[in-house]
Structure 1
Amino acid sequence: MKNMSLKEIAAACGGTYHGDPALLSKEASSVAIDSRKVQKDTLFVAIKGARVDGHSFIPQVMDQGAICSLSEQDLGDVTYPYIQVASCTEALKDLAEHYRRSLDIKVVGISGSVGKTSTKEMIASVLSEKYCVLKTEGNFNNEIGLPLTVFNLRKEHEVAVLEMGISHFGDMEPLAKIARPDVCVITNIGYAHLENLGTRDGILKEKTSMFDFMNPDGTVILNGDDDKLRGYTSERGIQPVYFGLDPACPFHAEQIQKMGLKGTVATFVTPSSSFSAHVSIPGDHMISNALAGVAVGYALGMKDEEIIRGIEKLVPIAGRNNLIEAEHYTIIDDCYNANPASMKSSLDVLAFADTRTVAILGDMGELGADEKKMHAEVGSYAVKKGISLLICIGTLSAEMANAARTASEASSDSDTKTLVYHFDTKEAFYRQMDQLLKEQDTVLVKASHFMEFPEIVKRLQVQ
C-alpha cells in the first residue's frame, strides 16, 4: 500500500512506534481488524469490541506474518513491532483519511434514509462500464466499515463508490473526512433513525454535512422527488443536480412500462439526450436509482451507451429485492433492513405478482416516538395494495396487524380482503407456516436487521 510505511502510519495516527527502527520504512500490504484476515505484512488494528478484544489476538497475528499491530496497551518487552495509540478506532479513521488523501481517485459518496445500498449497486454497475470501480461491500458503511473499504483501494482502481450510513448527530463528519467525495449523492430524507436525530430536518442537516468535506469543484446529486431535498440550498453555494420521476428534474424518466416482477422499461431523459433501458429489478424506486446512476455517469463523463449497459447489467443482491424461484414459492428476499418507506416500496413490488401475494413483515427499529403509528401505516398500506395474506411478526408488528385488520374489515369488497395474522416470534409462525402458505405463492420477507429474517428465507427455500 503506497504511503503506508510504518513510519507514515505512526505519524498519521499520532502513535508511538515500538520495535526495530530498521522496519520503519516497510510498507503494510493491507489493513485488518479480523485476525482471520491477516496475511503477510498486514497491519492489524486491535479493536476492542463488546464481546471480543482484538488485543488478545496480537501475538497470534504477528506469528501469522503481520507487519505490525496497533495497540491501545503498552505491550512491554515483545519481539515484534507495534504502534501504541490512544484509541484504535480513532487511529483506524485517521489512517483511512491519510491513505485516501494519497490516492488520485474519484470518489462517489452516497447517503440517504432509504435505498443507499441499492443506489450504490446501480451506480457501481453503471460506472464499471468505463472505470475500474471499488464499491462498499455489505454493510461496511460506518466508522469501521468505511475505513476498511478505503484500505481495499489499489492503484488499478479509478473510482470508489462509498456508502455512508449515519444514525446519530456527528456520525457523518468522520466518514466525509475519510471519503472526501468528488460526487455526493443523497437518495432521500426519510424516517430512519428519528429516535436519535429527532426530525427529518435533523436528518437533512446531518446527511448534508457530507458536503463540508467534498471536492469544492465536485458535484452534488439529489433526489428531486424528495420534499426536503427539492430546492435545497447549500451554505457553500453548491448548485445541486436533481434526478427524479418529476419531469422538472434535469434527469427524469418517461414512458415507464412495468413488467411485473421482471422489472421496468423506461425512457431516461438527460439534459442533452434520451434513451431507453430495462431495469431488471422491479419497483419505482429502482427507476429512481437508475436515474441517480445516469446523473453520476454524466458527472464522470460517460456516454449514453455505456450507461445503458451498466443499468441493464445490474443484478439483485441477497436481502435487497432479491427474487428467488424456490420449489414451492417465489420469494422476494428484502430482509436486510426496513423502515416505513422501504416497507411500502417492497409492498409495491409484491403487488406486481400475478399469483397470491403474501407479505411476511417484522418490526422496524429506531423510529422514535411515532413507531407504533408508523407500523400501523404499513399495515393499512398492505391492505390498500391488495396483499392477499399479511403475516406480522414481533412486538411492534402487532400495531401493523391491528391496523391491517381494521382496514380490511372496512373494505367493501369481500373478495379482496387481506387475511391478517400476528405472531410474537418467528418460532410461533413456523408452527403454522405450512397451513398459511400455499403452493406458488409470491412471498415478500422484510424486517429490520435485528429481527434476523434471513432465517425465514432459508426456511421457505427448503419447504
Structure 2
Amino acid sequence: MIPVSCGEIADAVNGELTGVAPSAVVDGAVVIDSRAAGPGGLFVALPGENVDGHDYVGTATAAGVTVSLTARPVEGSPCIVVADPQAALGALARLVVGRLPDLTVIALTGSSGKTSTKDLIGQLIRPYGETVVPEGSFNNEIGHPLTALQATESTKYLVAEMGARHQGDITYLTGITPPKIGLVLNIGTSHIGEFGSQDNIAVAKGEMIEAVTAGGTALLNADDHRVAAMRSRTKERVLTFGEAPEADIRAEGVKLDAEGQPAFTLRIGDFSGDIQLQFIGEHYVSNALAAAAVGAAIGMTPEQLAEGLNAATRVSAARMELTERADGVTIINDAFNANPDSTRAALKALVAIGRSRGARTWAVLGEMLELGDASADEHDAIGRLVVRLDVNRLLVVGAGAKPIHLGASLEGSWGNESAYVDSIPEALELLRSELRAGDVVLVKSSKGSKLRSLADALIEEGVQ
C-alpha cells in the first residue's frame, strides 16, 4: 500500500486511535488473515461465522503490523477502532485510490464470465503498463478493496471485478474505485433468486455504467439486449462488442476446433484479423471481445489486440480446465461455478470435443445455485439439452440438481444413459467403475455444490 499515516486513516474511516501515534505510517500489505501479516502493514479484524478476527490481532501485532482496524480496543495492540471494520476497509481503499490520480480503473460486472474476462484483460494490458488484477474472484465488499489497496504510485491500471447480490452493491463498489472504463458483460439468471427477474438484475448491473467517470468509456455487449439498452444510462463514450453486425468490436465466422477452442475473425473498423483462442468453449468469444474492448478503450491498436488474444492462456483454475489422464480419460474441470448460460456453453464444448475425437462423452452435473423460483425449470431445461446435444452419459449429483436427471428422462433418455446419485462419493464410485479409455468427462456445478472436489479426485486418480 502507498504510505499513509494512522491519523489520516483514522480520519478517513471515522475511527479512534488506541495505542498508536497519529504519525505512525502504514506502508505494508493490508490483510484480513493474520498469517499474512507483516512489518508496516495493517490487519483488518473481521468477524466470521466460525472465528473472530479480533482473536488474532495480537498475532498480527507480533508479526509487525503498524496497526489493526478493529471494532473494539485490543489490549497490547495498536488499533484504529471503528464501528464496522468491513466498511472501514472500503473507506481506506477509497482514500488510497483517491491519492493515485494517474491510475485508470477498469471495472467489470456481469452474470457470468467475470473472472475469465478479468484474467484476459490483465494479460492484454499488462505489456502497456503496471497492472493490478484481482486474484481468483475477489469481487465483493471485502475482496474488492483488498485488491484496490495493492495499487501504488507506479500502477497504471487497476482491474476491478464486481459482483452483486442486491441493488446498490455495484454503486458501493464503484464508490471505492470510480471506473474510468466500465464494462457490463451480460445479464443472465445468476442470483435471480435474490433479484426476482432478469430486468431487476439489469438495473443492478447497470449501476456500473452510471458510475463511469467524466471522460470515461462504457463498454456494452451488443448481443445482450438488456446490456445494449444501458447506453441510455451514461453520457460518456460507449463502445460495443459482440457478434452483432453493429458492434464496434466484432467476431465473425465463429467455430470450434477439435479441442473445443474457438476461432473467429476479429473486426474493428477496417481491421480484420484471425483469432484462435486457447480456451475451451464458445462463450470465451464474448469474453475475448469484451477484453478487446477494454484494450481499445485504453488505446491499444487492433494489431496489438489480435496478438494479445492469440497469446492469452487460462489463469484461474477449474474453468474449462482440460486434463488428459494417463489412462486415456479426459477430464474437463469447470466446477468453479455454474449458471444456466455457462452450463449450456460447457455442454456444447464437451460435444464438440467428443465429436472431434470420436469419443464417448459424460456430463457430470451438480446444482446451479441461487436460481430462486426458476431453479426447477432451469435444471430441467439443462437435462433436456443434454439429450438434444446427444451427450452419451449424464450423471447428476445432489438433490438440488435432480431435476436435470428428470428433464433428461422426460426428453427421451432411457436405460442407464442418465443416472442420479445423492453424493460425491457415490458419483466417484460410479465413474470409477464405468469410465474407459477415450472418454471425455465434463464436471460442472456451482461452487457451493462442491463438485470441484470430484473433479480433483478424478484427475488425481489418473496419476496414481
Partners of 2:418 and 2:454 in 1: CA distance? 18
Question: Which amino acid is 1:294 matched to?
Answer: A
Q: Which amino acid aligns with 2:294?
A: V
- Say if 1:134 and 1:159, in contact at 8 Å, map to a contact too: yes
Contact 1:93/1:174 (<8 A) preserved: no
Which consecutive residues of structure 2, in runs of 5 or more, have no partner in the other structure?
none
Distance 1:95 1:213 in 2: 19
Q: Is the 8 A contact 2:182 2:208 kept in 1?
A: yes
Shift of 1:173: 1.8
- The residue aligned with 1:166 is 164
* Preserved contact between residue 386 and residue 418 of structure 1 (Cα < 8 Å): no
Structure 2: which amino acid aligns with 1:100? Answer: V
Alignment pair present for 1:393 and 2:413? no
How do 1:304-453 residues align onto structure 2 when only pairs under 5 Å count? 304-316=302-314, 317-328=316-327, 329-353=329-353, 354=357, 355-409=359-413, 419-453=417-451
Alpha-carbon contact 2:387-2:413 (below 8 Å) kept? no
**Alpha-carbon offset, residue 239 of structure 1:** 5.1
Paired residues for 1:129-140 under 5 Å: 129-140=127-138
The CA deviation at 1:272 is 4.1
Residue 6 (str. 1) matches residue 6 (str. 2)? yes
TM-score scaled by structure 2? Answer: 0.94
Q: Residue in 1 aligned with 2:94?
A: 97
Residues 401-410 or 358-367, more deviating: 401-410
1:282-335 deviations in Å (ceiling 9; x for gaps)? 322111111112211111011233212321222223111111122231111110
Q: CA deviation at 1:433?
A: 1.9
**AA of the residue aligned to 1:111:** T
Instruction: Tell me the distance in 2 between the aligned counterparts of 1:426 and 1:20.
Output: 51
Q: Give the deviation of 1:25 after TM superposition.
A: 4.3
Aligned equivalent of 2:83? 86
CA distance in 1, matches of 2:181, 2:20: 42
Deviates more, 1:428-437 or 1:64-73: 428-437
Letter of the aligned partner of 1:97 in structure 2? R
RMSD: 1.7
Counterpart Cα distance in 2 of 1:350 and 1:235: 38
Kept in 1: contact 2:58–2:76 (CA 8 A): no
TM-score, scaled to structure 1: 0.94
Q: Mapping of 1:256-275 within 5 angstroms?
A: 256-261=254-259, 263-275=261-273
Cα distance in 2 for partners of 1:90, 1:327 equals 50
Q: What are the within-5 Å matches in structure 2 for residues 21-420 of structure 1?
A: 21=21, 24-75=23-74, 78-103=75-100, 104-238=102-236, 240-261=238-259, 263-316=261-314, 317-328=316-327, 329-353=329-353, 354=357, 355-409=359-413, 419-420=417-418
Q: Which amino acid aligns with 1:68?
A: V
Counterparts of 1:249 and 1:150 in 2: how far apart (Å)?
A: 31
Helix, strand or coil: the match of 2:250?
Answer: strand
What SS is found at the alignment partner of 2:276? strand
Whether the 8 Å CA contact 2:18–2:73 is kept in 1: the answer is no
CA distance in 1, matches of 2:275, 2:296: 16
Q: How far apart are the structure 2 equivalents of 1:20 and 1:455? A: 45
1:20: Cα distance to partner? Answer: 4.5
Q: Is the 8 A contact 1:233 1:239 kept in 2?
A: no
When structure 1 is superposed on structure 2, of 245-254 and 63-72 the one drifting more is 245-254
Query: For 2:312 and 2:49, how far apart are their aligned partners in 1?
Result: 37
- Answer yes or no: is the 8 Å Cα contact 2:323–2:332 preserved in 1: yes
8 Å CA contact 1:388, 1:418 repeated in 2: no
Distance (whole Å) between structure 2 residues aligned to residue 175 and residue 311 of structure 1: 28
Superposition deviation, residue 13 in structure 1: 0.3
Compute the displacement of 1:90 (Å): 0.7
Paired with 2:263 and 2:374, the residues of 1 have a C-alpha distance of: 37
Instruction: Verify the 8 A CA contact 2:206 2:230 in the aligned structure 1.
Output: no
Report the Cα distance in structure 2 between the residues aligned to 1:418 and 1:217, rounded to whole angstroms.
59
Q: Distance in 2 between matches of 1:227 and 1:351?
A: 28
Please give the per-residue CA displacement for 1:230-289, whole angstroms capped at 9, x wherever unaligned: 233434434532111122212111233421215222210112422112111132211111
Question: Which amino acid is the alignment partner of residue 2 of structure 1?
Answer: I
**Helix, strand or coil for the counterpart of 1:61?**
helix
Give 1:444 deviation, angstroms.
Answer: 0.5
**Residue identity opposite 1:31 in structure 2:** V
Do the aligned partners of 1:387 and 1:418 also contact (CA within 8 Å) in 2? Answer: no
Kept after mapping to 1: 8 A contact 2:212/2:234: no
Q: Is the 8 A contact 1:93 1:143 kept in 2?
A: yes
| Change beyond 3 A, Cα 1:409–1:364 | closer
Whole-angstrom distance in 1 between the partners of 2:371 and 2:396: 17
What SS does structure 2 have at the residue aligned with 1:431?
Answer: helix
AA matched with 1:44? F
Instruction: Answer yes or no: is the 8 Å Cα contact 2:183–2:219 preserved in 1.
Output: yes
Is the contact made by 1:4 and 1:27 (CA closer than 8 Å) also made in structure 2? yes
The whole-number CA distance in structure 1 between the counterparts of 2:291 and 2:225 is 21
Distance in 1 (alpha carbons) for counterparts of 2:343 and 2:417: 18
Q: In 2, are the aligned partners of 1:260 and 1:282 still within 8 Å (CA)?
A: no
Query: Which whole-Å CA distance do the structure 2 matches of 1:375 and 1:145 have between them?
Result: 30
Residues 31-60 of structure 1 show CA distances to partners (whole Å, capped at 9, x for unaligned) of 111001001111111111111101011112
**Do the aligned partners of 2:219 and 2:241 also contact (CA within 8 Å) in 1?**
yes
Separation (CA, whole Å) in 1 of partners of 2:429 and 2:153: 54
Q: What is the letter of the counterpart of residue 323 of structure 2?
A: I
Residues paired across the two proteins, number: 454
Of 336-345 and 96-105, the range deviating more from structure 2: 96-105
